[in-house]
Amino acid sequence: MTIQPIASQPIAPQSVTPQPVSGAGATAAASAVRTPVQSMDANVFMTLLVAQMKNQNPSAPMDTNQMMSQTIQLSMMEKTTEMTANNKEAFSLQMRSAAAQLIGHTVDYTLADGTTGTGLAGSVSYAGAVPTVKVGDLSVPLDSITGLTAPAAS
């Protein structure tokens, strides 16, 4: 039995004309568009490493030192990301604690528009990214507080 090679068939180019999408499918097609990622994370790094390993030349495989170096870089990036998240959380907790300690004290403040004032800190709100201190009827952001006077000893 003789095996005959398959003759390659030339593929004729075909033109494709884009058609406008309308109706109910338009929303699905519009939402299917992927937004590009602006930063590299562990998933992107790992995808690149796996693609590199899959597509390497079998007769000249990737150097193990390079692979270890890239794996270590991935680990360092993950730990740095974790440390950044922990630092943000710690800073947020420090701001909340500092704001809470202002209650009952007389505070001086300067708002973004240049308005200055003094008043007794009555309460604190943690609703926004920066805690706000209620001074009279005014909510003053913690980062606008410029001075602090301890309450009088009783």
Give the model's pLDDT for residue 27: 53
Instruction: Give the phi and the psi of residue 99 in degrees, each rounded to 5.
Output: -65, -40
Mean pLDDT of the chain: 80
Q: What is the mean pLDDT of residues 128-149?
A: 92
pTM here is 0.54
Res. 32: pLDDT tops 80: no
Contact 123, 76 (CB under 8 A): no
| Residue with more model confidence, 132 or 9 | 132
pLDDT in tens, 95-118: 999 999 999 999 999 999 999 999
Give the model's pLDDT for residue 125: 94
Contact residues for 142 (Cβ-Cβ < 8 A; gap 6+): 95, 98, 99, 130, 131, 132, 133
Q: Which residue has the tokens 């309308």?
A: 22
pLDDT in tens, 41-87: 777 777 887 888 788 877 877 778 887 888 888 889 889 989 999 99
pLDDT confidence bin for 19, thresholds 50/70/90: low
